Amino acid sequence: MLNIIESGVFLDKAAVYEKIKELMVSEFKLEADLIGPEKLLNDDLQLDSLDMVDLILSLSDFIGDKIEPTLFKDARIVQDLVDSVTPLWKSDL
């Protein structure tokens, strides 16, 4: 599925996934090869609720818009984050 961004360019979920993965590596010092779309945020990646708040803040800063924490309340795997964030993404990726 593609997402139209402000510049008229298309951004797919794979590009959003890569950016989220990059943020997880830089923010939480996770090994990039341990992160995958089906990885459980809590069990596999050891991200707790405070980590999720930090991730929301980092993503908000990056996309230039506030992300409501409730958007991630049902996120269990990395792909859930990608699916939630893709519609909010801006053109400066």
Does residue 37 register a pLDDT over 80? yes
Q: Which of 2-6, 23-27, 56-60, 82-86 has the highest mean pLDDT?
A: 23-27
The mean per-residue pLDDT over the stretch 25-46 comes to 96
Q: Domains, the chain, ranges and CATH?
A: 11-88 (1.10.1200.10)
Q: Is 75 helix (H, G, I), strand (E, B) or coil?
A: coil
Does residue 49 register a pLDDT over 60? yes
pTM of the model: 0.81
Widest Cα–Cα separation across the chain: 38
Q: Look at residues 74, 38, 69 and name the one whose alpha carbon lies nearest to residue 55.
A: 69
Using pLDDT thresholds of 50, 70 and 90, give the confidence band for residue 90.
low
Does residue 91 register a pLDDT over 50? no
